[in-house]
A and B are shown apart, each in its own frame.
Chain A
Amino acid sequence: GENVEQHPSTLSVQEGDSAVIKCTYSDSASNYFPWYKQELGKRPQLIIDIRSNVGEKKDQRIAVTLNKTAKHFSLHITETQPEDSAVYFCAASPGGGTSGSRLTFGEGTQLTVNP
Chain B
Amino acid sequence: DGGITQSPKYLFRKEGQNVTLSCEQNLNHDAMYWYRQDPGQGLRLIYYSQIVNDFQKGDIAEGYSVSREKKESFPLTVTSAQKNPTAFYLCASSITSGGAIEQFFGPGTRLTVL
Specify which chain A residues have a CB less than 8 angstroms from the CB of B108 in the assembled complex: 43
Does the CB pair B43–A95 fall under 8 Å?
Answer: no
Task: Give bound CA distance, A104 to B101, whole Å.
Answer: 13
Task: Give bound CA distance, A54 to B112, whole Å.
Answer: 43
Q: Find residues 63-106 in chain B having any chain A CB closer than 8 Å to their own CB.
A: 90, 94-96, 99, 101-103, 105-106
Task: Give bound CA distance, A105 to B42, whole Å.
Answer: 7
Given known contacts A43-B106, A46-B102, A102 and B90 CB-to-CB distance under 8 angstroms: no
- CB < 8 Å A-B pair total: 56
Specify which chain A residues have a CB less than 8 angstroms from the CB of B105 in the assembled complex: 43-45
* B43 CB contact (under 8 Å) in A1, A32, A44: A44
Q: Name B's interface SS.
A: loop
Given known contacts A43-B105, A46-B102, A102-B48, A89 and B42 CB-to-CB distance under 8 angstroms: yes
Q: Find residues 4-61 in chain B having any chain A CB closer than 8 Å to their own CB.
A: 31, 33, 35, 40-45, 48, 50, 58-59
Closest 3 pairs (CB-CB, A-B): A101-B101, A107-B42, A43-B105
Interface residues of A (CB under 8 A from B): 1, 6, 9, 32, 34, 42-46, 49, 51, 89, 93, 95, 100-108
Interface residues of B (CB under 8 A from A): 31, 33, 35, 40-45, 48, 50, 58-59, 90, 94-96, 99, 101-103, 105-108
